[in-house]
Amino acid sequence: MSLHPMIAALRKHKSGVVLIAMQIALTLAIVCNAVFIIYSRVEKVNRPTGMDESNLILVSQQWVGAPSGDDPASIQKLDELQREDIEALRAMPDVVSVTPSNSLPLLDSSWNGSVATKPGSDLIKGDARSTYYFGDENFLKTLGLQLVAGRNFTAGDVTNKGFRDPAEPSLVMVTKELADKLFPQGAVGKAMYLDGGTKPTTIVGVVARLQVPSNGTWASTFVWNSTIEPLRLNANYSRYAVRTKPGRMDAVMHAIPGALYGVNPMRVLDDDSVKSFGAIRADAYRADIGMAALMGVVCLILLAVTAAGIVGLTSFWVGQRHRQIGVRRALGARKIDIRHYFQLENLLIAGGGAVVGIALAIGLNRALIQYFEMTTMPFWYVLVGLATVLVLGQLAVLVPAMRAANVPPVVATRTV
């Protein structure tokens, strides 16, 4: 079939052609960017934290009337309170393991600093930033971390200090990511220096993976750089991670406030004090999941609206050209020729719109990068978007094209 008469015909109704092409272009631009946003968010949400996340509970609480000084007596009193709590939690039925912990991945409450291979380093941001976790010999077991080199902390390694006390630990465990960055030849047994200090800290163990607590973009340069110190941090508040037997988490969560009040009623436990890790994860990623859902819904409605627009306008054209179709049929065109005519016409319009749409899609991605810290969209998203709008156009044009094909040749002989 020659394209020439078709193009000549399209010129007759420029406005309709431009409207459909525009709609296709905008749809293509928005749909492939939206799908890319969905993909980015889903990828972010699916990152494993490095922990065994099931049957894990975090308890956060605050003592009332606990000492606030930094003198040794106050610190020892705070440590006693903390050890009493840990013992009480360990003694609970169905509890597998308990560790004090200043935070957990995705909790968005973190201690961060920088680590270096040399003493007194003038630390520069991004060099080797790290988050600090403070836990005891049960930290690994409770969080379900995987030790890949060296050894775990022993009970003898674990010390305690006030939270304003700057003393550096003599030994730590680090994540593989941080270990590889500092000591590509193997980190176990090596000394590193925390926060520009001059006292060496020996790396005794390396864990496969442990995400930092912060979910914000500012922490995106060191998401896997974690340092674990064998330490109970003493303040007027404390956190404990608790691992329960499978299937017993809810029961343990329910029993924890009673157990802690039993040890010492002078404390604050509120609605958020006992939280499953699942709830922490849900809170951390709520916005990301919501965003993905919104984009998904927008895409679906958008495709439906665009299809409806094509159906509407093509039907109008079919109506307008009722007689011409009849004439063509009378002159020997088969039904399939008529159908192909409208399908090819749609392909031309959609193709033209899609070319503009590709440019728009790339432009929109640029704008998102500039204003919203998005990343560059791989080109194949655009290709998938292109295929989607072309297929959508063909599906939408099918019904009006069939109707056109069913116009009887006899129409040519009627005046109206």
Partner 1 sequence: MSMFVYYLGLGWRSLRRNPVLTALMVMAIAFGVAASMITWSVFRVVSGNPIPWKSSQLYNVQIDNRGPQYNEPGNEPPDALNYTDAVALMQAHKAPHQTMLYDIAPSVLPQNANDLPSTTTGYATTADFFTMFDVPFKYGSPWTNADDDGHAAVAVISDALNQRLFGGANSVGRDVTLDMHAYRIVGVTEHWDPKPRYYDAYDNMEFANPAQVYISVNRAVDIHVGMAGRNNCGGAPAHFSNDEQWLHRECAWIPFWAELPTQADAERYKEFLTAYSAEQQQAGRFQWAPNVRLRNVTEWLDHEKVVPAESRISLFVSIGFFIICLVNTIGLLLAKFMRRSSEIGVRRALGATRREVYAQFLMEAATVGLAGGVLGLLLTIVGMQGIGLLFEPDVARLAHLDMSLLLTTLIVAVLATVIAAFYPTWRAAQVQPAWQLKSN
Query: Which residues contact partner 1 (rule: CB under 8 A)?
Result: 15-16, 19-20, 22-23, 26-27, 29-30, 34, 37, 62-65, 68-70, 112-114, 120, 122-125, 127, 129, 164, 166, 195-197, 235-236, 265-268, 270, 283, 286-287, 289-291, 293-295, 298, 301-302, 305-306, 308-309, 312-313, 315-316, 319-320, 368, 371-373, 416
Least spacing, CB of residue 311 vs partner 1, in Å: 8
Q: Which one-letter amino acid corresponds to residue 23?
A: Q
Residue 285: how many CB atoms within 10 A of its CB?
A: 20
Q: Can you tell me the distance from the alpha carbon of 323 to that of 342, in angstroms, rounded to the nearest whole number?
A: 15
Least spacing, CB of residue 312 vs partner 1, in Å: 5
Helix axes 277-320, 335-372, angle to 10 degrees: 140
| Rg of the chain in Å (alpha carbons) | 33
| 27 vs 211, beta carbon nearer partner 1 | 27
Q: Dihedral sign, CA of 398, 404, 407, 409?
A: negative
| 62 vs 394, beta carbon nearer partner 1 | 62
* Structural tokens at position 167: 């003393």
Please, what's the b/e burial string for 151-185 (b: 16 or more CB within 10 A of its CB; e: otherwise)? ebbeeebbebbbeeeeeebebbbbbbbbbebbbee
Strands 159-162 and 274-276: unpaired
Least spacing, CB of residue 248 vs partner 1, in Å: 26
| 3 vs 391, beta carbon nearer partner 1 | 391
CB-based burial label for 232 (10 Å; 0-12, 13-18, 19+)? buried
Decide: 89 and 240 in contact? Cβ < 8 Å: yes
| 241 vs 284, beta carbon nearer partner 1 | 284
Least spacing, CB of residue 66 vs partner 1, in Å: 8
| 108 vs 137, beta carbon nearer partner 1 | 108
| 140 vs 386, beta carbon nearer partner 1 | 386
| 320 vs 324, beta carbon nearer partner 1 | 320
| 180 vs 195, beta carbon nearer partner 1 | 195
Least spacing, CB of residue 194 vs partner 1, in Å: 9
* Structural tokens at position 1: 């079939």
| 156 vs 166, beta carbon nearer partner 1 | 166
Least spacing, CB of residue 198 vs partner 1, in Å: 9
Q: Can you tell me the distance from the alpha carbon of 187 to that of 149, in angstroms, rounded to the nearest whole number?
A: 9
Half-sphere exposure of 122 (CA within 13 A, CB side): 0
Least spacing, CB of residue 154 vs partner 1, in Å: 28
Least spacing, CB of residue 164 vs partner 1, in Å: 5
Least spacing, CB of residue 336 vs partner 1, in Å: 25
CA neighbor of 233 nearest in space, from 137, 163, 157: 163
Helices (H) and strands (E) in the chain — how many of each? 10, 13
